[in-house]
Amino acid sequence: MQFGHDTPDATVQSAKPRGPPPRYSDVYPSGPLRKITGVRLPRKSPSTLWDVSIGDGKISAIGPHTPGHPDISYVPGVLHASERLLAPSLCHAHIHLDKCFLLQDPKFSDLEIKDGDFREAMVLTSKAKSRFEEEDLLRRGRQLIEESIQYGVTAMRAFVEVDGEVKFKCLESGLKLKQEFKDICEIQICAFAQLPLFSGEDGGDEIRKLITDAARREGVDVIGSTPYVEQDEAKTIMNLRWISTAALFNRKPLDLHLDYNLDKEKVPLIWATLEIIKAQNWIERNGKVITLGHCTRLTQFAREDWNRLKQEIGDLPISFVGLPTSDLFMMRTDEGVRGTLPITKMIKEYKFNAAIAVNNIGNAFTPQGTCDPLSVASLGVAVYQAGTKSDSETLYECVSSRAKAAIGLRWTSLDLNIGDPADFVLFDRTNVGWRRRKTIKEAVLDGGTSRQTIRNGKLIAY
């Protein structure tokens, strides 16, 4: 999807400095819920209230709420929702844990944006990485996770860079945060090569060794790379072949930043990627899910290109993740045209597996935005001209069920089926009056900032 010359912001409760910080689960203790009463549900009439029963962290029953019955909200394990909207929890399908809040952190205050382009973002990030230490990695990463949970996030794929500059600093901090938050947020750690695997002074030998070691580390869930940073086409193909082989060998999902350009003259890497994946017999060898982020070059596709892509993918477990907040800031031609994947069109017209995500928070790649995935869905209303009820439900799924599916996680349907995980977000406080969000469409158009988060049937954020 392309746009002409130029075209969310939520108030978050910043964590107060503390040291050493307590575990987040100690700050927000919660026993298991047995029932949530008096809720509005997606895809049901907003004038009807329901009770949702929970057992073993899953939805065990859903039935009509009967007003006037004795109040049982005081009973342990019962949460009275006061007619608020209960919806599946949110997910970051693609977020960089180690590079967050660099523009806000006093430690990196000298690294200001001046040009606002990709080259400068790489330079500023490289300078920041040279100063990374465990203290600031944990502090910034913890802030991102805490704010995300407050917004309703219960799962995320977190990228941490591995290279000759940072070695395993980012990875080790990410693994510590994964362990710290394991009871309340499912964090997939992706060991990620942002820098070339085959270019550079040593031909990429060091970073390949580091990624090889990282892929074997306990707690590393995914490996990925950025093939387009290589110095020529031959090395780009080598990057694709090496990282996909490593994923197969280590039986890990693969996540690629791919085709990050708007150049009609460049042959999209997606075709070479699919050729390599098929040659490796990915399905026959039980390869894990493959997630492709950015892919802005595909905005130049005509209908026949989309049809060819759908046919070429076939049964391969491939999902696309659009990153509109970053793409619209970074991807612009000399004529001022901007582009990001047309996610809603890809889903509705071509039946691709697709989602949208935040990507970066407060750095030179994406200076604007918050940790709220729903703000990206709200942006999507304008980006994709998607204002109908059906569009809103699709956009919500793109930061919820579709986002979780894109990274291979279990998920809760908007239909809230029996047996689905009891992972929810409960919108608004009880005193907002007529501004209370009653439907998914209202939540997408303006999700507000006051939410409660429930994971595995436990209230984890108030």
Q: Can you give the CATH number for the domain in which 201 is found?
A: 3.20.20.140
Any bridge partners for residue 40, and if so which? 85
pLDDT at site 14: 41
pLDDT at site 449: 80
pLDDT at site 1: 56
Q: Is residue 110 part of a domain?
A: yes
The backbone torsions φ and ψ at residue 222, rounded to the nearest 5 degrees and listed phi first, read -145, 150
pLDDT at site 50: 97
Mean pLDDT across 416-424: 97
Q: What is each CA distance from 111 to 94, 140, 147, 367, in whole angstroms? A: 24, 16, 24, 12
Number of domains comprising the chain: 2
Q: Is residue 225 part of a domain?
A: yes
pLDDT at site 12: 37
For residues 70 and 91, which has the higher predicted lDDT (pLDDT)?
91
Shared domain for 302 and 324, answered yes or no, is yes
Cα torsion through 429, 431, 435, 438, rounded to 10: 60
Q: Can you give the CATH number for the domain in which 446 is found?
A: 2.30.40.10
Shared domain for 258 and 190, answered yes or no, is yes
The span from the CA of 354 to the CA of 69, in Å, is 43
Nearest to 424 by CA among 87, 150, 146: 87
Q: Is residue 303 part of a domain?
A: yes
Shared domain for 332 and 227, answered yes or no, is yes
pLDDT at site 7: 36
pLDDT tens sequence across 254-313: 999 999 999 999 999 999 999 999 999 999 999 999 999 999 999 999 999 999 999 999
**pLDDT higher than 60, residue 24:** no
Which residues constitute the domain of residue 448? 31-89+413-461
Q: Is residue 114 part of a domain?
A: yes
**pLDDT higher than 80, residue 73:** no
The span from the CA of 47 to the CA of 12, in Å, is 30
Residue ranges of the alpha helices (H) in 203-294? 205-215, 233-249, 269-279
Please give the order of strands across the beta sheet that includes 35-39. 58-64, 50-55, 35-39, 78-80
Shared domain for 70 and 171, answered yes or no, is no
The backbone torsions φ and ψ at residue 142, rounded to the nearest 5 degrees and listed phi first, read -60, -40
pLDDT at site 25: 37
Shared domain for 48 and 145, answered yes or no, is no
Full DSSP string of 404-454: HHHTT-----TT--TTSB--EEEES-TT-GGGS--SHHHHHH---S-EEEE
Q: What is each CA distance from 362 to 108, 112, 133, 150, in whole angstroms? A: 11, 11, 18, 18
Average pLDDT, the chain: 91
Shared domain for 85 and 97, answered yes or no, is no
Domain boundary pick from 406, 427, 451: 406
Contact 145, 177 (CB under 8 A): yes
pLDDT at site 110: 93
**pLDDT higher than 60, residue 17:** no
**pLDDT higher than 90, residue 431:** no
Q: Is residue 455 part of a domain?
A: yes
Contact 59, 121 (CB under 8 A): no
Shared domain for 387 and 238, answered yes or no, is yes
> Please, what sign has the CA dihedral across residues 285, 286, 288, 294?
positive
Q: Is residue 192 part of a domain?
A: yes
Shared domain for 107 and 239, answered yes or no, is yes
**pLDDT higher than 90, residue 117:** no
pLDDT band per the 50, 70, 90 thresholds, residue 411: very high
Q: Is residue 21 part of a domain?
A: no
Shared domain for 174 and 54, answered yes or no, is no
Shared domain for 165 and 267, answered yes or no, is yes
pLDDT band per the 50, 70, 90 thresholds, residue 462: low
pLDDT at site 15: 44
Tokens of residue 424, six digits: 């929810």
**pLDDT higher than 50, residue 9:** no
pLDDT tens sequence across 351-386: 999 999 999 999 999 999 999 999 999 999 999 999
The backbone torsions φ and ψ at residue 26, rounded to the nearest 5 degrees and listed phi first, read -80, -30
Shared domain for 402 and 450, answered yes or no, is no
Shared domain for 236 and 383, answered yes or no, is yes
Q: Is residue 20 part of a domain?
A: no
pLDDT at site 216: 97
pLDDT tens sequence across 164-221: 999 999 999 999 999 999 999 999 999 999 999 999 888 899 999 999 999 999 999 9
**pLDDT higher than 90, residue 40:** yes
